[in-house]
Amino acid sequence: MARSHKIEDYRNFGIMAHIDAGKTTTTERILYYSGKSHKIGEVHDGAATMDYMEQEQERGITITSAATTTFWNGKRLNIIDTPGHVDFTIEVERSLRVLDGAVCVLDSNQGVEPQTETVWRQGDKYKVPRIVFCNKMDKTGASFDQCIDDIKKRLGARPVPIQLPIGAESDFKGIVDLVRMKAVIWEDESLGAKFHDAEIPADLQEKAEAARMELIEAAVELDEGAMEAYLEGNEPDEATLKRLIREAVRTSAWFPVLAGSAFKNKGVQTLLDAVVDYLPSPVDVPPTKGIDAKTEAEVVRHSTDDEPLAMLAFKIIEDPFGVLTFARIYSGKLEKGVTLLNSTKEKRERIGRMVQMHANSREEIDEAFAGDIVALVGLKESRTGDTLCDPAHPVILEKMEFPAPVIEMSVEAATKSDQEKLTTALMKLASEDPSFYVSTDSESGQTIIKGMGELHLDIKVDILRRAPYNIKVNVGAPQVAYRETIRKAAEIDYTHKKQTGGTGQFARVKLVVEPNEIGAGHKFENKIIGGVVPKEYIPGVEKGINSVLTSGPIAGFPVVDVKVALIDGAYHEVDSSAIAFEIAARAALREGIEKASPALLEPIMKVEVVSPEEYVGSVIGDLNSRRGQIQGQDMRGNANVITAFVPLANMFSYVNNLRSMSQGRASYTMQFDHYEQVPAAVAQEVQAKYA
Ligand SMILES: Nc1nc2c(ncn2[C@@H]2O[C@H](COP(=O)(O)OP(=O)(O)OP(=O)(O)O)[C@@H](O)[C@H]2O)c(=O)[nH]1
């Protein structure tokens, strides 16, 4: 079977927006008008097709991304839904990695909102070609001009209207298409399915002409020939103008702006036309880079079926049909039944069934091609960010970066009977979300979950409490992962002796402890010469040492970067045992660490704050007050980027502080950088809290 659409006719795009700008409603309408969705599911009814998790419907925010395939004007559209919440920027980045372009939806009543700014900056980072859709033109207070102004001022980007709204608020009727210089009016009774061309209303004529002039001037700037012709009095024809707008989008030279009201069913078809006309196809964007999994040489993969298969898994969801792995094919063809290499994990994976998702149906497919987004059913080893490829041509596509988790807390099932269910559920959640981690505290045996923020963990706990899991869980307070180490060497000679009734216990060990290189972990060495401690007792010594290292003397955190050597000892023919040596080693090492000036270490985060100029002073002042060390300050677009090292302990609730400090306009990312010794005064506080 051949492909149904040429790769040039693909549009893999996302819809990005601030919460509530209307991303879900717009997606719904797109699916409706492009014929694959048969009923309009209103968000406020909780029936939207893309919002398939019960929880999302209740919260009204889209947490997970889904990919849906639909068709328009002979093109194949794959819509990748991107979430808008700040704690889920990882999901946004993940989606941005696999799409070729995006529609940025604004609420025309609100203009550029804080989260619009955040996702826009992420779009800049990944160089995503974008068009802007000013939605909610029907809302009281809607202002297209204000949106244009906001894009300039808040985003430092250059907006160029390619449409003007006709009317506003309850009077909003349609748009002026500045490319064709025609009005387009929607017929309310048809639920927006019917619309027709009309003459531009007289009161808009002048404004439309000025806007068209601006559009043409912005367009011809991109092409010398068109510019020369224009200067000689020849305006570009429609095809040329469209080509130039497309070029502007591809290079982010400027951003075309459209208007509409998804909710009132206006402007959606013209938005789809713009997606087709202006967003890039897979062959319009730079080829994908990767490394050869054998030679580690850099390779590029072009968007064609003729190169070996390479695809990237970008989303895993669990649904009633099983595990679905969403992947984008960058090059090559995929056939059902083949065995692929997961080059990231070095594991083979058989492709059993695969499906393509439509608005409210799924289509079983046997083949998929370069540019496609497919959902693979029942993969076992693959996780988000993994590359799946032709085993004969192993390649690892650019890896996605996941920031280190910043927060952790304990969870436990309220009832014993739920404990096992909890463990299984947590494993599942961790496999679906690479920024969510689960581990067990070796000391307390508690289950610890780690993630990107309090809301992130809250939502996981919420999922556990709901169907299908229905687990009653108790959670602890969020906390930082400290470590302990030593600063100098020490030697200890310790004898464990006990005589109670029959057999006694005897073991003597002499240990040397000293700091190991930073990051080298801990190391045990048996340096005994001759048989002063018989071999069979050594595992006991090692066990004793390991148990001390899991819980340090300062506040019970793991002890790292320590070398321990057993240099001497003694035993007794009758009274010695592995247990006696374990006890001796434990006591010896405890004493040794106390003598070796123990120190508390804390994780230091590299924090990057992106802030409008007016808040930079307060942002820096605040970072200083958090024991932060400012590393630098740069410009990105019209925003300031401040980098600093800040102890994680002082970064809790930072999201909220930053939001209120900047009226929600600054955003930040942070990732673990290194561990550093905690200042004495702070160490005392930590000790008081945990010991
Ligand atoms: N008046 C008006 N309301 C709209 C329009 N589009 C969406 N809404 C409403 O705005 C609210 C939010 O819309 P959604 O589509 O859920 O927005 P979203 O951006 O997907 O929201 P998140 O998923 O939370 O990020 C809903 O109550 C919609 O009915 C519009 O064009 N006009």
What 3 state SS string does 305-342 have?
CCCCCEEEEEEEEEECCEEEEEEEEEECCEECCCEEEE
How far away, in angstroms, is 520 Cα from ligand 1 center?
Answer: 52
Q: Tell me what pLDDT residue 97 has.
A: 82
ipTM value for the complex: 0.96
Asked if residue 378 has pLDDT above 90, the reply is: no
How far away, in angstroms, is 22 Cα from ligand 1 center?
Answer: 3
- Angle at the Cα of 27 from the Cα atoms of 25 and 31, rounded to 5 degrees: 115
Mean pLDDT, residues 489-493: 96
Q: Tell me what pLDDT residue 406 has.
A: 64
pLDDT band at 644 (very low <50, low <70, confident <90, very high): very high
How far away, in angstroms, is 42 Cα from ligand 1 center?
Answer: 9
Report whether residue 17 contacts ligand 1, using a CB cutoff of 6 Å. Answer: yes
DSSP 8-state assignment for residue 300? E
How far is Cα 274 from Cα 15, in angstroms, rounded to an integer? 13
Q: Tell me what pLDDT residue 405 has.
A: 62
pLDDT band at 236 (very low <50, low <70, confident <90, very high): very high
Asked if residue 398 has pLDDT above 90, the reply is: no
Q: What is the pLDDT of residues 195-214, one digit of tens each?
A: 999 999 999 999 999 999 99
Mean pLDDT, residues 240-265: 96
H/E segment holding residue 633: strand 629-636
Q: Tell me what pLDDT residue 62 has.
A: 41
Q: Lowest mean pLDDT of 146-155, 221-230, 268-277, 440-449, name the range.
A: 440-449
Name the residue with the closest Cα to ligand 1, atom 5. Answer: 263
Q: Choose between 51 and 416: higher pLDDT.
A: 416
Contacts of 362 (CB under 8 A, 6+ apart): 321, 355, 356, 375
In this prediction, what percent of the chain has a pLDDT beyond 90? 56
Q: Tell me what pLDDT residue 58 has.
A: 45
Name the residue with the closest Cα to ligand 1, atom 22. Answer: 61
Write down the domain spans for the chain. Answer: 7-278, 288-397, 407-479, 484-596, 603-690
Choosing from 32, 43, 139 the residue with most ligand 1 atoms within 8 A of its CB, the one to mutate for a pocket test is 43
- 138 a known binding residue? yes
How far is Cα 121 from Cα 125, in angstroms, rounded to an integer? 6
Asked if residue 38 has pLDDT above 50, the reply is: no
Contacts of 422 (CB under 8 A, 6+ apart): 411, 412, 413, 447, 464, 471, 473
DSSP 8-state assignment for residue 281? P
Give the mean pLDDT of the chain: 87
Q: Lowest mean pLDDT of 349-358, 396-405, 596-605, name the range.
A: 396-405
Q: Tell me what pLDDT residue 57 has.
A: 47
CATH classification code of 407-479 = 3.30.70.870
Mean pLDDT, residues 221-248: 96
Q: What is the pLDDT of residues 420-434, one digit of tens each?
A: 999 999 998 887 777
Q: What is the pLDDT of residues 79-130, one digit of tens each?
A: 987 765 545 556 666 677 889 999 999 999 988 887 788 788 878 878 899 9
Report whether residue 38 contacts ligand 1, using a CB cutoff of 6 Å. Answer: no
How far away, in angstroms, is 470 Cα from ligand 1 center?
Answer: 30
| CATH entry, 288-397, from 3.50.50.60, 2.60.40.1890, 3.40.1080.10, 2.40.30.10 | 2.40.30.10
How far away, in angstroms, is 26 Cα from ligand 1 center?
Answer: 8
Mean pLDDT, residues 342-359: 88
pLDDT band at 293 (very low <50, low <70, confident <90, very high): confident
Q: What is the pLDDT of residues 579-630, one digit of tens each?
A: 999 999 999 999 999 999 999 998 888 888 888 899 999 999 999 999 999 9
| Fold match, 407-479 / 603-690 | yes
How far is Cα 473 from Cα 411, in angstroms, rounded to an integer? 7
How far is Cα 50 from Cα 267, in angstroms, rounded to an integer? 20
Choosing from 19, 24, 26, 55 the residue with most ligand 1 atoms within 8 A of its CB, the one to mutate for a pocket test is 24
Would you put residue 42 in left (φ > 0), alpha (ψ -120 to 50) or beta?
beta
Closest CA to 535 of 498, 510, 514, 566: 566
- In the chain, helix, strand, coil percent, each to 5? 30, 30, 35
Q: Tell me what pLDDT residue 404 has.
A: 53
Burial class (CB in 10 A: 0-12, 13-18, 19+), 446: middle
Q: Tell me what pLDDT residue 407 has.
A: 73
292 φ, ψ (degrees, to nearest 5): -65, 125
- Angle at the Cα of 377 from the Cα atoms of 375 and 381, rounded to 5 degrees: 105
Report whether residue 64 contacts ligand 1, using a CB cutoff of 6 Å. Answer: no
How far is Cα 396 from Cα 42, in angstroms, rounded to an integer? 41
pLDDT band at 48 (very low <50, low <70, confident <90, very high): low
| CATH entry, 603-690, from 3.40.50.1970, 3.40.50.300, 3.30.70.1290, 3.30.70.240 | 3.30.70.240
Q: Tell me what pLDDT residue 53 has.
A: 46
Asked if residue 19 has pLDDT above 70, the reply is: yes
> Which position has the token pair 């001009």?
145
pLDDT band at 244 (very low <50, low <70, confident <90, very high): very high
pLDDT band at 506 (very low <50, low <70, confident <90, very high): very high
Q: For residue 405, say if its preceding peptide bond is cis, omega within 30 degrees of 0.
A: no
How far away, in angstroms, is 655 Cα from ligand 1 center?
Answer: 24
Choosing from 18, 20, 51, 91 the residue with most ligand 1 atoms within 8 A of its CB, the one to mutate for a pocket test is 20
CA 534 to chain centre: 54
Closest CA to 329 of 1, 91, 7: 7
- 22 a known binding residue? yes
Mean pLDDT, residues 545-556: 89
Mean pLDDT, residues 20-29: 87
Mean pLDDT, residues 438-463: 82
Q: Considering the domain delimited by 7-278, tell me its CATH architecture.
A: 3-Layer(aba) Sandwich (3.40)
Q: Tell me what pLDDT residue 636 has.
A: 66
- 84 a known binding residue? yes
Q: Tell me what pLDDT residue 670 has.
A: 72
The domain defined by 484-596 carries CATH number 3.30.230.10: yes
